[in-house]
Structure 1
Amino acid sequence: MPFLTTDRGLRWHYETTGGGDPVLFIHGFGGSGRWWGAQEEFLRSGHQVIIVDLPGHGQSAWMPVTLGGLAVDLRQLISGLGISQFNVVSSSFGGLIAFELYWMVPESVMRMSFVGAIPKFARAPGYPAGLDVEKIRTLSNQFDGDYASVLEMFFRSLFTAQERGSERFKWVRNMYRRSVLPQREALKCFLDILEKTDLRGHLAGVICPVQFVTGSDDYICPRPVMARVAEHFVNARFDVMRGCGHLPFLTKPDEYNRLLEDFLIQ
């Protein structure tokens, strides 16, 4: 159960298994490294798998952070493991961190795979595709009430009715309920970052191979939006998982793992 205290004084929890080309997994808002368990099990025979808990999530400590600070810390963690080149797989909010990390060390990032992640999440004039800013702020305010109930309702909303009716979802729900709740202040901070961040102007500078995986019914990162984002890259592929919402790697891990492996070995 390794921990790293970074130069900024933040204690990160991470796990590393397997051997081969390294793959760093970055989870999203409200999650933890445990969410990548099926991917770790699938890839560890041929890859070194590094999974982190973001600050205030899982077993990592919390202190106020910025998007750039998160990327700096991950760069220190990767460097401390003696890794010079690596792949990055990220989900949702984790995708923003992945972009920041790439721009810090572009020569080190071999490939990037994004699941339900776009460079701008908040709606704005001329950008009707994002989440409504007032809804983001409302969610943040609701966390001051019945925190656990609000968070679980939000978690359920990330899946389609078809997913929620599946046998697999019973496992997903139990995994969620057994997990340590993220710290309230961490989620409020992440929502603030999510509302204010716009990375669209930097996409043309990404030259490594990129994969975008989307659930066909993801309301946070709709398929047409992710398809348009993918068009900005010189070397991108776009994969759709039918009947899925925002976290398809949880509800259809076998299908997702095949898509990811195909990308990593191409």
Structure 2
Amino acid sequence: MNYAKMLEQIIEKSELSLRQISKRCADLNLTITPSYISQLKNAKLPPPSEEVSLILAKVCGSKEQSQLVFQGYMEKAPELVREYMLASSTLNKIMLESLCRADNNGELSSEFRKHIEKLDVLSTLEISSKYISLDDTSKAGELLKEISLSSGCVTKSDTNGELLNVFLGDTSMSPTIPNHSYLYILPTRTSLLKDRDIIAFYPVGRKIPTLRRLFHVKDKLLLIPDERSHEIYSYDAIHEVDYIGKVVSYKVDL
């Protein structure tokens, strides 16, 4: 992913207008116009200075501040340096995929693979460094679980064998459950579910878990988000839902 695309995604996730971003930058003593930001995210200008990238990511509330700064460096670096960093990133991704296969009897989920492929150079380096710095390589499973959650996969909870872990990667249940929360899901029997319960399920055609509140309305089952800009799902009966379980708790990774 190049700098422009990374910045564009950061801006989209912030749900801020370019004018709002420009004003927030001014509050941090950085004067840039909405037009300038537009040219950056549309790749009509080269990546800016470290200060500009850092403040842009900060005012958008992004956790990818260092990634954006690093990507800007990468695109302005000499070709030899870029080639070296890209080659190192490719080797690190191969290592992470090999670790996952070894931990899962040779299996590698498509979600895990896609997540690894999308990682930028700095993110790949940071994750690989975690593994290399492990005093006990048997703990590699913890790192793989962290990656799996980030990719949207469901994993077993360490605290209770019956619980599942899911990482919420959208704002559909805000403000009740914030974006980037780690969820604990209990595979409750569907007969025990009641209105307003928050459940995890796979929408038709998708393999990333989704959360919605359950409501029975006349002869329909509606799965409704707390943040109403997200999609509402309608079913005739609960057995039509690719159900994972009921959300029992969550924690926010600050």
Q: Same fold (TM over 0.5)?
A: no
Quick one: higher RCO (CA 8 Å, sep 6+), 1 or 2? 1
* Bigger radius of gyration: 2
